[in-house]
Amino acid sequence: MLGVPAVTIRSWEARYDIAPPTRSPGRHRRYSSEDIARLRRMQRLIAAGTPAADAARLSAIEPDQSDAQPELPAAEQVAALLADLESFRIDEAGAKLDGCLRQRGLQPAWEDVVAPALRRLQDRFQDTADCIDLETLLADEAARAVDRYAGGRRLGEAADSPVLLACCPGERHWLPLKVLQGVLLERGTPAVLLAPDLPPDAVLRAARRASPRAIVLWSLTPRPAQAILRRRLIARGEQTVAAGLGWSPKVDPLTHLDDAVHLLSRL
């Protein structure tokens, strides 16, 4: 029915705990129509580029009416999202973001839809400087959508030694850190996100309390205070990772979500 080898399904069951709850007296698996539907959802998610672990978790979520709709190509989703923002249809934009996250998963939704939409607005700002309100709206609505997506699911529980995510002093653009936190939690890596633009001493105290496995310092625009904060953390023996375009290439900052997730998940 599925076109999937039995060994693949057994692997999914062993790795992601998606075995059917019903077995025969001889311990043979018994798949209900709901079990088959879940496996089909997992197949579609994997085919769309969602990592298998995320696809297994998302496949357990019953699709609502919006998920039953065919998934639009990413370029069309970007255009539709920007059209809603242009007309200040905020609720519709939020609903589109929610559906995009459910259908694609967090990392593909960010890379294929949200980040390209932000780049479109940034390019427009360079030409006409008339859309800073739309850029702010998109960032705010995307942050809320990530909160709804991450908050309503068992993405990970508090644990010792989380990854601590912090904006550098003066940095208030924290959406990329919020996305990074959500993706880390999806992959079972505990992550704590501090509020933006905290004083350096507050970040240092948070690091002391959290005993993190690593501290990510995010900067979009270079400022002198960020290098001082990084040096203070390193001097205390904290594993400190620079991230964002506001850092000098000399510190080898992380500038891509996939690289950050790969590095921080291995720590």
pLDDT in tens, 51-97: 888 888 888 876 544 444 556 889 999 999 999 999 998 888 988 99
Instruction: Report the pLDDT value the prediction gives residue 69, as an integer from 0 to 100.
Output: 52
Residue 121 identity (one-letter amino acid): L
The number of helix segments (H) and strand segments (E) in the chain equals: 12, 6
Of 20, 38, 36, whose CA–CA distance to 28 is shortest? Answer: 20
pLDDT in tens, 151-165: 644 444 445 689 999
DSSP-derived 3-state class of residue 123: helix
In the chain, what are the domain boundaries? 6-59, 74-151, 163-266
Q: Residue 30's pLDDT band (boundaries 50, 70, 90)?
A: confident
Over 60: is that where the pLDDT of 180 sits? yes
Instruction: Report the pLDDT value the prediction gives residue 65, as an integer from 0 to 100.
Output: 43
Q: Residue 121's pLDDT band (boundaries 50, 70, 90)?
A: very high
Instruction: Report the pLDDT value the prediction gives residue 41, as an integer from 0 to 100.
Output: 82
Instruction: Report the pLDDT value the prediction gives residue 129, as an integer from 0 to 100.
Output: 82
Do 74-151 and 163-266 agree at the fold level? no
CATH fold for the domain made of 74-151: 1.10.1240
Contact 140, 193 (CB under 8 A): no
% of the chain residues with pLDDT over 90 = 52
The residue behind tokens 């270079």 is 222
Instruction: Report the pLDDT value the prediction gives residue 150, as an integer from 0 to 100.
Output: 79
Instruction: Report the pLDDT value the prediction gives residue 19, as an integer from 0 to 100.
Output: 83
Task: Please report how many Cα atoms fall inside a 13 Å half-sphere around the Cα of residue 124, on the Cβ side.
Answer: 14
Residue 31 identity (one-letter amino acid): Y
- What torsion, rounded to 10 degrees, do the Cα atoms 204, 230, 163, 247 define? 140
Contact 163, 192 (CB under 8 A): yes
Classify domain 163-266 by CATH number. 3.40.50.280
| CA-atom Rg of the chain in angstroms | 21
Spatial neighbors of 141 by CB under 8 A, at least 6 apart, are: 85, 90, 93, 94, 97
- Cα–Cα distance, 263 to 254 (Å, whole number): 9
Residue 22, token pair as written in the block = 């019903």
Instruction: Report the pLDDT value the prediction gives residue 62, as an integer from 0 to 100.
Output: 61
Instruction: Report the pLDDT value the prediction gives residue 92, as an integer from 0 to 100.
Output: 87
Of 135 and 63, the structure prediction assigns the larger pLDDT to 135
